Structure 1
Amino acid sequence: MMLKTGGAAAAIAIAFMAAASSPAFAQDAVTCGTDRTIDIAEFTWPSAAVLAHIHAKVLDAGFDCNVEIVTGDTVPTTSSMVTRGSPAVAPELWTSTVQEQWDAAVSDGTTVALGDAISDGTVEGWFIPRYTQEANPEITSAETAIANPQVFADPEDSSKGRLYTCPPGWGCELATGALFEAYDMEENWNLFSPGSGGALDASIARAFTREEPILFYYWGPTAILGKFDAVALDMGEIKPEVYACNTNPDCDEPAGITAYPSSPAIVGAAAWLPEEAPAIAEYFSKVGLTNAEISELLVYGDENQADAEATAVNFLKTKEDVWTGWVPAEVADKVRASLS
């Protein structure tokens, strides 16, 4: 994945690479490099929350950094990082919903992309259970699902179908609402807001457990897509300009039809981090996980009712073959010791 960089950001990258190639850097790699608190944004969806805790534990125990986990979400975290340099790190930043602001900040040298959070890209769209598609083989796309509201009847209003949308406050809420409007679904469908990510998960899990039809917005990697056999519907062509307008509350154009783009999910950081703590920047350049790897760790959390911190600890204990490749041996030893 190619990420846009501006002059200041490029200078940071060059300085970082030069530091990484020097003998002094290798000697200092086991120290944090900054006395500042490295605040890590814990976003509201499970994968981002778990990644925040994984990285916080490695930085705290392995690099002796002052670390704080802070509550965050895509839009407010990006704005705060740009204007205040805090939080220092967003470990799973989906840039598609803040693309213009993010690109401008990178170009201005206030933020920097340290690497990929999800190495094989994100998944986003409308899904149905495979058993529903097998019973209704004509439903392969958003259009064919919309043409069959009776298959996905709203339990509170059986005269209409129900589309489960994105939780309130997330960028995908705007995108899904715009598509609902663009597809002229108001007459035969209800757009149902679950109220939270947990409530959306519960609705999906209940439908799959009962083998009931459900049409729902979702994204990956997630425990839900790792646990249940869901089929992504064909959403048609990706139209970046349309999607940008659909997700911009100030856009005056009418909502348009577009597929959800596969958003780059990056490790975003305030520009001061690689300047003051090059060892930490190098660490974050290596931490990308695949969809399958993240889904696997999230299934553990789901099946064991483990919170983000406990799920992170399980990952560090059971996936040493993965994370020890991110750090020097001395750092790995210190992380292991902290887990015992």
Structure 2
Amino acid sequence: MSAPPAAGRARPAPRRKRRLRSALVRATAVALAVALVSSCAVRTTSVLRDPGTVRIALNGWVGYEASAAVLQTLLEDELGYQVQLVRVDEQPSWQAMDQGEVDMVVENWGHEDLMELYGPEGNGTVVDGGSTGNDGTLGWYVPRYLVEDYPGIDTVEGVKEHAGIFATPETGGETGQFLAGDPAFVTQDQGMINHFGLDLEVVYAGSEAAQITEVRQRYAAEEPVLFYFYEPQWLFEELDLVHVEFPEYTDGCDADLDDVACDYPAYDLNKIFRTGFAEEGGPAYELLKNWQWSNADQNAVAKMIADQGMDPQDAAAAWVEANPDAWRPWLPASVDR
């Protein structure tokens, strides 16, 4: 969630567009089924599916979408698979793997509780797929100009002292606003507000895109804004943002989400596979297992999608065209590189 855009490439052929639309129709149907999935853990050792199709969960932030689009492009164009992108939130993605509806979560931010439930020490329906290569940072951010106007506001003490400058009509004009993004994201912000006694109210923008729009508007007007955000994230190339300092994360400091005494942990972001998919192996699994890229790589594709308005598949194709040395090592050994 944080490289200049890669050079363009011709739009994919109509046949591929039709195939993508068809896959998305099926993915929508699967997503509807996922919405009804029980939270109960049920071991699914045998899943009837087309071995030529890979089903990838699509979570709700553009960095994730960038990674998924590049993987889809390579699986389809280089290995001949069909890919279904199943739009589903973070935690239901794991339930979908457990129920055999999804083969992979591309970008996992921690979720030790879900790994305990569904992983090898739980019911065994998912496995760790290794690092994506991305370093993940979550936390609170303010613009640089605000730190210059209010020295120390990039610390918890400074936020407490100056909380009133973040007040908006939505918070009654006195309580400061803490701008969150998608309410489906798993966060600890209210617990941090509670623990440190901050006069702040969490207000959800509704989505990553809506949050970015609001932050950009306030930034352009040099207005106060305090918000939850993350890296990798393409917007850091455009705006000068400062991470607010809280006490460093230690094991257990976030055990009670209503009373969190620390900042978010740092993450080595990883992939999660449905166990059956990993055990089957094959070229698709090998490519996905081999895949690793940098924050700058993800940001380049995400910026094309979110800032330049490119179709995700066109953005992915542009990156693939411009970076063969980056992705060819991901291909299975059996494929001519």
Question: Fold conserved (TM > 0.5)?
Answer: yes
Q: Give the distance between the partners of 1:193 and 1:240, measured in 2 at CA.
A: 28
- CA distance in structure 1 between the partners assigned to 2:313 and 2:156 by the alignment: 37
The aligned counterpart of 2:149 is 135
Contact 2:125 2:275 in 1 (8 A): yes
| Equivalent of 1:167 in 157, 182, 200 | 182
Q: Distance in 2 between matches of 1:92 and 1:308?
A: 17
Q: Which moved more, 1:235-244 or 1:213-222?
A: 235-244
Structure 1 residue 133, shift from structure 2 partner: 0.8
Q: State yes or no: 1:39 paired with 2:55.
A: yes
Q: Report the identity percentage.
A: 22
Deviations, residues 140-195 of structure 1 (Å, cap 9, x unaligned): 312311220233232554323211124211112xx11222222333xx33321112
User: Cα offset for 1:219?
Assistant: 0.7
Deviations 1:9-38 (A, max 9, x none): xxxxxxxxxxxxxxxxxxxxxxxxx72531
Query: Residue 236 of structure 2 corresponds to which residue in structure 1?
Result: 225
CA contact (8 A) 2:107 2:270 kept: yes
Structure 1 match to 2:205:
194
The correspondence for 2:310, drawn from 306, 310, 333, is 306
CA RMSD of aligned residues (A): 2.3
User: Structure 1-normalised TM-score?
Assistant: 0.77
Instruction: Determine the C-alpha separation between the residues in 2 that align with 1:332 and 1:312.
Output: 21
Question: 1:66 maps to which residue?
Answer: 82
Whichever residue aligns with residue 265 of structure 2, its letter is P
| Separation of aligned partners in 2, 1:331 and 1:178 | 50
The runs of 5 or more residues in structure 1 that have no matched partner are 1-33, 247-253, 334-340
Partner of 2:324: 320
Does the C-alpha gap of structure 1 residues 77 and 166 become closer, same or farther in structure 2, counting only changes over 3 Å?
Answer: same
Structure 1 residues 308 and 177 mapped into 2: Cα distance closer, same or farther (>3 Å)? farther
Residues 182 and 205, structure 2, Cα contact 8 Å, conserved in 1: yes
Q: Give the equivalent residue in structure 2 for 1:13.
A: none
Say which of 233, 245, 250 aligns to 2:256: 245
Distance 1:310 1:297, change over 3 A: same
Distance 2:118 2:333 in 1: 35
> SS state of the match for residue 319, structure 2?
helix
- Answer whether contact 1:115 1:284 (CA < 8 A) is retained: no
CA distance in structure 2 between the partners assigned to 1:143 and 1:233 by the alignment: 10
Matched position secondary structure for 1:242: coil
Counterpart of 1:27? Answer: none
TM-score (ref. length: structure 2)? 0.77
TM-fit CA distance, 1:332: 7.5
Offset of residue 202 of structure 1: 0.6
- For 1:229 and 1:110, the matched residues in 2 are separated by 42
1:89 alignment partner in structure 2: 104
Residue deviations 1:179-214, cap 9 Å, x none?
2222333xx333211122211111111122222221
Does structure 1 conserve the Cα–Cα contact (< 8 Å) formed by 2:143 and 2:242? yes
> What amino acid is the match of 2:235?
I
State the one-letter code of the partner of 2:114.
Q
Write out per-residue CA displacement over residues 53-85 of structure 1, whole angstroms, 9 at most, x where no aligned residue.
211121122112232111122100012212x13
User: Does the 8 Å contact 1:226/1:299 carry over to 2?
Assistant: no
SS in structure 1 of the partner of residue 223 of structure 2: coil
Structure 1 counterpart of 2:247: 236
- SS for the counterpart of 2:67 is helix
Q: In 2, are the aligned partners of 1:113 and 1:268 still within 8 Å (CA)?
A: yes
SS of residue matched to 1:240:
coil
Any idea what SS the aligned residue of 2:201 has? Answer: strand
For 2:267 and 2:284, locate their aligned partners in 1 and report how far apart those are by CA, in whole Å. Answer: 24
- What's 1:49 paired with? 65
Query: Shift in Å at residue 259 of structure 1?
Result: 0.9
Tell me the alpha carbon deviations over residues 235-270 of structure 1, each in whole angstroms, 9 at most, x when there is no partner.
Answer: 212133232431xxxxxxx52322111233211110
Letter in 1 for 2:231: G
Aligned to 1:181: 194
C-alpha separation in 2, matches of 1:263 and 1:72: 21
How far apart are the structure 2 equivalents of 1:126 and 1:154?
Answer: 18
Q: Map residues 95-134 of structure 1 onto 2, 5 A cutoff.
A: 96=110, 98-108=111-121, 109-117=124-132, 119-134=133-148
CA deviation profile, 1:276-323 (whole Å, cap 9, x unmatched): 224333212322222222223222223311243332222212222312
Which of 271, 289, 293 pairs up with 2:293?
289
Contact kept? 2:286, 2:332, Cα under 8 Å: no
Q: What is the Cα deviation at residue 127 of structure 1? A: 0.4
Q: Which runs of 5+ in 2 are unaligned?
A: 1-49
Aligned residues of 1:122 and 1:264 also touching (Cα < 8 A) = yes
What amino acid is aligned across from residue 97 of structure 2 in structure 1? Answer: M
Whether contact under 8 Å (2:134, 2:232) holds in the other structure is no
Structure 1 residues 300 and 37: CA distance shift in structure 2, 3 A? closer
